[in-house]
Amino acid sequence: MKKLLAVFLLTFSAFRISAQKENPVHIIPQPVSIQKGTGVFNAKPVIRFSVTGKETENIASQFTDRFLRVTGTRLQREKNKGDIEFRLLDKKDTSLGEEGYRLTVQSSGISLLANQPAGLFYGMQTIFQLLPKHSEGNTDVSAKRNWHIPVVTVVDKPRFGWRGLMFDVSRHFFTKQEVKQFIDDMVRYKFNLLHLHLTDDQGWRIQIKSLPQLTDIGAWRPLREGKWANASDPLPDEPKTYGGFYTHDDIRELVQYAKERFVNILPEVDIPGHSMAMLASIPGLSATPGTTYWVNAGEKFMEWPAGAHFYALKDNNLSPANEKVYEVLDKVFTEIAQLFPFEYIHMGGDETAKNFWEKSEEIKALMLKENLKDMDAVQSYFVKRVEKIIRSKGKKMMGWDEILEGGLAEGASVMSWRGMKGGIAAAKANHKVVMSPTDFAYLDYYQGEKTAEPPVYAGLRLQKAYQFDPLPDNVDPLFILGGQGNLWTEQLQNFRAVQYMLWPRAMAIAESVWSPKDRKVWPDFINRVEQHFDRLNAANIRYSKAMYDPIISARYDTNGNLVLLVDKEIPDMTIHFSIDESNPDHTYRQYQAPYTLPKDVANVKFVCYKNGKQVGRQINLSVEELKKRAPGKRP
């Protein structure tokens, strides 16, 4: 009997493992808890669907519309329990919080439970990730109907309440429809905060009815194509046809669209620096009289010396000493506060070059009058004036971590981008903080081998982004709202380029702000990312495969020979290379240890393989480039 029982258990276990392999679960971000079962919930021509509560009607509508589109299966609404049930709990489950959910998939049906509608919405995203990858595409109905969902129980809730992505729509204008697509893409991975960078030197993107010149002038510039910061100054009579802006109606539409997807929109007006579009629109707001301003079209106007403080070639700051500035800003923030229901308004405050302020007589007079000891104090004076304006509109002010310099305004919150130091300081001073540090969360940085990527001044690999933790040690979590990834668009002139920079690194950010810290495992994450590549392909969402790029450097040995050093992000990937100018494949030399290059080699070419198939792109590097990567001088 014992032997028979043992055989039965082994057989059942083998069947269970086989079923789990046939019906894998690849959810991003990783839930709090997953229990995989055996079997599936199968497709039917018509499925009964029930949902409770008027506040869930919008979710039900989205679910039925998308479910029909991606599966070809019609959901028939029922008052009583259906094959698929969405239900708000009568008695709250405190373990789920406000955005958590409990999803149970059985062969007989699907149950999704939550305390609040947001939880149902996020559970819905998980259901769609459990569908086969072909459900994401535009296949014919007969193919769509070939679907099933694996038996599984998911209990889930987010680690942080602020799970954001910043979209810079100022450097290059993106249409209302593209912003909606950005929202659709981000909610797949349970982001809930869209930070819109609406103004900068290159464009003013929001209608202010009381100041129409801001968009009549500030939203437009001459067309420039090619490399960023390589452009010529606009000519006086050159047509200014490139750009655009969002009307009040556009903003209301976007806010409503986001609200229906449980996304808040944080508007940013970046001041006092980054203000050339405003200065071009409304003369007399800088501290440098006589300067002719235009909307920057990509030409260089700042210097960033290595090892030294940056400075402006042209004053692009609003003047803290000019009362007209505050009158203009009062009008701006009045309308923005009315358009955006979110509790925060972002005032920028970053990268304020002060070299022109140092020469200004009106700034010197302000310093004497207000007893301001230095330029940081001058900026702090400005920030505090702006905070009062924003507070008078019933909103809270947020700014980049430079607003700490010279003293932080009372009630201000900090978005920490220059590492986490500023955020830590603000949190320890009892101010709310959002972490978005460059070393983990700047998604405009190149993401693989830099010679094969669009030219940017810094890089951020996927594995580094995955190491992001918005909560530093020894910081009170009550003051850490959460984290976000930032996407600046100086280099990004179209929406496909935007998607390429976002994914999959935004998946890493999503998991960092949603999933429990102890549930993050790099090899498992990579496995799930690779499965989501197939989903993105089917959905026609562009992404980068730069995670497969080898990490290539070099050094000199004691004899002065150049030694090739190669690392990788993907654990079970092999790297092969050629030194004879031919294009390598899996039969070529495999990199396994530092390799001394023969003196006559001119170029090294690399390819990577996983499970017998080439992954990623071929990388070609000259020996001259490798020499640049070797520290120090040749012995």
**Active site amino acids:** 351
Angle at 253 (CA atoms; ends 174, 483), nearest 5 degrees: 65
Closest alpha carbon to 121 in 104, 138, 103 = 103
Instruction: Look at residues 574, 173, 84 and name the one whose alpha carbon lies nearest to residue 75.
Output: 84
Residues 120 and 112: their CA atoms lie apart, in Å, by 7
Is residue 262 left, alpha or beta, with left meaning phi > 0 and alpha meaning psi from -120 to 50?
left
Lookup: tokens for 390: 């924003």
Rounded to whole angstroms, the Cα distance separating 323 from 315 reads 18
CA–CA distance, 226 with 301 (Å, rounded to integer) = 17
Amino acid code (one letter) for 167 = F
Q: Within 13 A of 413's CA, how many CA atoms are on the CB side?
A: 21
Tell me, letter by letter, the H, E, C secondary structure of 308-348.
Answer: CCCEECCCCCCCCCCHHHHHHHHHHHHHHHHHCCCCEEEEE
Token readout for 456 is 């940017």
Looking at residue 567, what DSSP letter applies? E
Q: For residues 20 and 12, give the distance between their C-alpha atoms in angstroms, rounded to a whole number.
A: 12
Q: How far apart are CA 185 and CA 169, in angstroms?
A: 16
Nearest-Å Rg of the Cα atoms of the chain is 27
Q: Under a CB-based contact definition with an 8 Å cutoff, are residues 324 and 285 in contact? A: yes
Supply the DSSP string of 155-207, one letter for each residue.
Answer: EE--S-SEEEEEEE-SSS---HHHHHHHHHHHHTTT--EEEEE-EETTEE-B-
Residue 391, SS3 per DSSP: helix
- Residue 101 to residue 119: CA distance in whole angstroms: 5
